[in-house]
Structure 1
């Protein structure tokens, strides 16, 4: 049958399909009344239906058509195009489900239609809808119709209200998400975001992180070959995880429904998300960030399960056993140097791409930094990138660590030849770690041990400045928590963010977390050992740069020491080093050479103590409005020894100067 011309001219879309099926429902009801000779009486009882009759006759181009003719015309109008209402019929097959959905939705579209099944009007009820459907489908009993309605509620198509009332008075309504999709209205929700196929990126612009890495085309072929499945994609945050899934969905003509991770934990939200994905022919995309020890359970879908993609971290524990279909695992590495060059070029930094690619950033952070970098001159590219990178504030890192200003202290680091060689070798290993291991996943872990004030923190600053990387110190007060699992959670956040931003991470006084494990004598011992075991495994897999400092290297668990790429002992400075540190710290002064030699020779200070002495001497000089004199130095030295409870070793003749 050829569709009537007015019907044929309608756009083939969800909105028009919904209206035509709604009119078809009215055609069914009016045809039933006409067959029983009550049509005019029915129209007199419900006069608002005349407007529906006029619309139907206008679209059909003749008098009120028979139901089969109307349905044939609608099928011809729609052709092969699949729309949300068709997918809903697949999810809830059968004429009763289709009619009940349209009847209940019709009341939301036109409240006057409620008078047809509810004599007093108002929202459709389970009793009123059952009775009305029994008249429409006399071959089905009340129990069959109620079972269909409750099944529709179970899968999220219908929502049931007034459950405290008698069962026949339970109110029924189409779930907002289902109504919006089948009626062509925008589907807007706080807990998920639906992106149409046409708005998704093409796989043609994908930049593979390495020559052997997975590609969106691989996933798209898998999606085409399976009806339902779970895709488990592991990678760093801001590393193209969601982009990868969106590109694969675009290649097979699917939309993407991006849900919050908490959706799976809420039964109603999970049912709604699966329903929306089924109606919109969308792939479910869920981003999960489980804390250490947490297991993410993917619940079963309440209806024909769409494809579900979980993007998560490398170490996340996932249980998808409740979902049907195959599991398709994907691991995305961080981009290698060639891939980073391509990302920098795509971000508009072609001229400097080769130099900027030495930063082991994730792909997402490359674009974030590139957008935030402002160049006043072409030769300021590196400085602009450094400034933009410093401006990125990752909440995971900011809440568990704080950034250390590097200042101009590079020249203040005084080391003996052996220490200098080790620090330079560590810097070289950090700079070339990708080439050394032939992988962008390589990390560097170093233990800096020595007495307080011997230059461990200063060496960390020196290393960060040499590498042109920000330096963050883990805040133990904000990280260590008395509640079980919270310490591991906080550490994981800091370590993961440090990896992605390619910063230098400093774990100061690391023996507080890396101390030797003890025999389990209480619950406290057991949980302390659990924290240590977590750190052992996490440092093994750490792909960034982390420096651990300790005043006593022997307190560090041997297992941690074995995992360190470098262990650098910092010794107390000898006389020559003390004099060099003192001269660098002093600046302008009026000290005699004899005083300088005496302090360097007799005062067995660390570099940190010398800094304190010079700082106090400068304070005294400022108060006296003069340069630092011998008298100021003597008082500062004596004060430093009083702090430690030791005797000042300066010779009496010089001490009397103070």
Structure 2
């Protein structure tokens, strides 16, 4: 609350009272009905004759209190709030006077009676256009005075003055000052405009803490440029806008962040007025569909306005506004330092930098994730842990893929994988590439041209059941991301071009969010191109060509799996970061797989020996061993006892028979 603002406005109102008193005296001196208690409710014949015989507009009136012909309006004053408002909105002296006249009844009830008398209508207790111009020493006959009430003039265009009663002639129209402007002139800037409540507007005060932005970054340039209108194209929603918000706040400017759900032009105008009253910048993100009317309501303006979104700007939005188009920089958008500052003390010994490296989230998303992590930790009675951080980060960056992909929340780690050292090492390298890609491809500039993205794409090849899907789940779990398995039935379409459209929707969503995308049985969509012998071959090759181009620009993390590597087109292989071979497990690895699968079950004493024998006799992949272990568990549960060696062998035999193979030791595959 600014007490000086209240005092300054009240002093100006007191000076205005003297001018109103002079006008009242001048009018009542020649008015025979001045003492009539019913004056204003009717017009007598005498009054009509007096008005008809009166002086023409612009002449000197009785008593000389008010003179026409270009009298200079009063100076609203000095360095106070009115003068500051005049500078912010480009008001002339006459504008400031009109605003003060319209403001008077809002802060001094005596003016209601005075204006009722001067309006010759006790029911009209606000200033009118004619009265405001009379008090300024001019009148509605003056073109310059009338122009101050045009919708494009500063008072109305800036939202400082509303002209009501549009059906009346201009001199008789009522003037009203919005409550937000009244509050500002009285020194109250604690709250946002009531018109913005529930509209997705957040006021962010200046904040000089933290690392200064790069002077060459878009945010720093916008903060140093003054009033400017910018469209910022982002790869990750909110990331570029968050960096601009941080730069503006660091430069000492408050920011009004607006998240419109739809095009709301009145709210946009109120937002712009609020920004000019506070000297704030406006950041709008994301833009709603068809944002043209919203953009035209916001630009050009006297404050910085940043419109952020993942789409390209349309010149038709504001063809004459000089809207600048900038691209948000690639690379990391939210640093570990901000995570650390927002999270506060942590529980457990873990590397926060590595834990958050895979998340491409902006400042605003980091703050929301940190608040969520703190709240969840407080609910559980601890400080934030690694699990809290990852859970909250996944919530703010999860893709909208549920209709075209199946989400898997990873529950396994590298200790659950039974693989030789070479494929294990390549899986660890894959997680490292996902974490360090911004440094290697961005800071170190090892990314080639041609519009290549920063995606990480790997191919997992091996026989069915060798752990390819489990490996993808382990990678996602190690990165703290969800795994989304593409549902090919919702992607592949018999109509020409529809498959590519479905894939594009998936790629676009994964590009701008954080997850690991799994194309299981990838040769169904990444198969080899063939010689064109029919229209079917031609369109199949077009689909493959689209995928080749799309992988070049991919920014996410994707894993392709195939049972037969030779089925995948060689052109796809060139675009892969890693090809991981999942070998069929040998006897020693099968023993480990059996023990891993039965680790949580109660086991009889003979189980370990039977596991060793079954691992040598039954050549089963990891998936089959897992199914055999489940069968053994059900057999034991049905008896109500621990798993025995006989249960283990029964599970192994069942898997051999399912595969149509001869059971070691005799017996046909279909034998009971």
Q: TM-score over 0.5 for the alignment? A: yes
Q: TM-score, normalised by structure 2?
A: 0.67
SS across alignment from 2:305: strand
- 8 Å CA contact 2:128–2:174 kept in 1: the answer is no
The residue number in structure 2 matching 1:566 is 578
Residues 96-495 of structure 1 mapped to structure 2, 5 A cutoff: 97-98=95-96, 100-109=98-107, 110=109, 112=113, 113=115, 116-117=118-119, 119=121, 121=123, 129-132=128-131, 137-138=138-139, 140=141, 145=146, 148-151=149-152, 156-159=159-162, 173-185=176-188, 186=191, 187-188=193-194, 189-190=196-197, 191=199, 193=201, 195=203, 199-202=205-208, 205-208=210-213, 214=217, 218-223=221-226, 227-230=227-230, 232=232, 234=234, 236=236, 241-242=241-242, 244-245=244-245, 247-248=247-248, 251=251, 254-262=253-261, 265-288=263-286, 299-301=295-297, 305-310=301-306, 312=308, 317=313, 319=315, 321-322=318-319, 324-325=321-322, 327=324, 329=326, 331-332=328-329, 334=331, 340=336, 344=340, 355-358=351-354, 359-360=356-357, 361=359, 364=363, 372=373, 384-397=385-398, 400=401, 404=408, 406-407=410-411, 410-416=414-420, 419-420=423-424, 422-430=426-434, 433=437, 436-437=440-441, 439=443, 443-464=455-476, 467=478, 469-473=480-484, 476=487, 492-495=508-511
* Contact 1:430 1:545 (C-alpha < 8 Å) held by counterparts: yes
Q: Does structure 2 conserve the Cα–Cα contact (< 8 Å) formed by 1:235 and 1:331? A: yes
- The 1:384/1:158 distance shift into structure 2, 3 A limit, reads same
Structure 1 residue 616: deviation in Å?
0.8
- 1:607-643 CA distance string (max 9 Å, x none): 2122112211221022224444565346535654676
**Residue 513 of structure 2: SS of its match in structure 1?**
helix
The whole-number CA distance in structure 2 between the counterparts of 1:592 and 1:104 is: 93
Q: What is the distance in 2 between the residues matched to 1:435 and 1:515?
A: 33
Q: Name the SS of the counterpart of 1:446 in structure 2.
A: strand
Q: Give the Cα separation in 2 of the matches to 1:194 and 1:45.
A: 54
For 1:315 and 1:354, how far apart are their aligned partners in 2?
38
2:345 & 2:458 partners in 1: Cα distance?
33
CA distance, structure 2, for counterparts of residue 303 and residue 581 of structure 1: 64
1:38 aligns with 2:29: yes
Kindly tell me: are residues 326 and 423 of structure 1, through their superposed partners in 2, closer, same or farther at Cα, counting changes over 3 Å? closer
State the 1:335 CA deviation.
5.0
Structure 2, unmatched stretches of 5+, are 39-63, 445-452
Q: How far does residue 448 in structure 1 lie from its aligned partner after superposition? A: 2.2
Q: Deviations over 1:339-386 (max 9, x none)?
A: 64587479757999994333425573666677746999xxxx999334
Query: TM-score, normalising length from structure 1?
Result: 0.68
**What do you get for the CA RMSD once the two structures are aligned?**
5.7
Give the CA deviation at 1:457.
Answer: 2.0
Q: Which is further off, 267-276 or 254-263?
A: 254-263
Summarize the alignment of residues 611-626 of structure 1 with structure 2, pairs less than 5 Å apart. Answer: 611-626=626-641
Please say which of residues 37-46 and 624-633 is displaced more in the overlay. 37-46
Quote the residue 1:75 is aligned against: 77
Q: Structure 1 residues 28, 476: closer, same or farther in 2, change over 3 A? A: farther
Deviations 1:525-559 (A, max 9, x none): 89x969x95995477341x5443445566776776
Q: For the residues of structure 2 that align with 1:143 and 1:70, how far apart are their CA atoms?
A: 12
Please say if residues 233 and 308 of structure 2, whose CA atoms lie closer than 8 Å, have aligned partners that are also in contact.
yes
Does the 8 Å CA contact 2:467/2:582 hold for their aligned counterparts? yes
Task: Give the match for residue 513 of structure 2.
Answer: 497
Aligned length: 596
Query: What SS is found at the alignment partner of 2:149?
Result: helix
Residue 56 of structure 1 corresponds to none
Q: Secondary structure at the match of 2:139?
A: coil
Asked whether the 8 Å contact 1:255–1:282 carries over to 2, the reply is yes
Classify 1:496/1:398 alpha carbon distance in 2 versus 1 (closer, same or farther; 3 Å).
closer
- In structure 2, what is the Cα distance between the partners aligned to 1:584 and 1:179? 73
| Whole-angstrom distance in 2 between the partners of 1:478 and 1:396 | 25
Cα distance change of structure 1 residues 591 and 492 upon mapping to structure 2, 3 Å threshold: same
- Report the Cα offset of residue 312 of structure 1: 3.2
The verdict on how the C-alpha distance between 1:239 and 1:507 changes in structure 2, with shifts beyond 3 A counting, is same
Instruction: Say whether the 8 Å CA contact 1:449–1:570 is kept in structure 2.
Output: yes
Tell me the distance in 2 between the aligned counterparts of 1:464 and 1:491.
Answer: 17
- Aligned-pair CA distance for 1:439: 3.2
Task: Map residues 559-638 of structure 1 onto 2, 5 A cutoff.
Answer: 561-573=573-585, 577-578=589-590, 580-586=592-598, 588=603, 590=606, 597=613, 601=617, 605-629=620-644, 631-633=646-648, 635-637=650-652
Structure 2 CA distance for aligned equivalents of residues 485 and 269 of structure 1? 36
Deviations 1:16-38 (A, max 9, x none): 44444444544433323434563
Separation in 2 of the partners of 1:161 and 1:486?
Answer: 53
Alpha-carbon separation, structure 2, partners of 1:38 and 1:24: 22
| Structure 2 Cα separation of the partners of residues 556 and 628 of structure 1 | 42
Deviation for aligned residue 1:273: 2.6
Q: Are the structure 2 counterparts of residues 444 and 475 from structure 1 closer, same or farther at C-alpha, using a change threshold of 3 Å? A: closer
The answer to whether the 8 A contact 1:290-1:296 is kept is no
- Cα distance change of structure 1 residues 391 and 344 upon mapping to structure 2, 3 Å threshold: closer
Q: Where does residue 666 of structure 2 map in the other structure? A: 652
Higher fraction of helix: 1
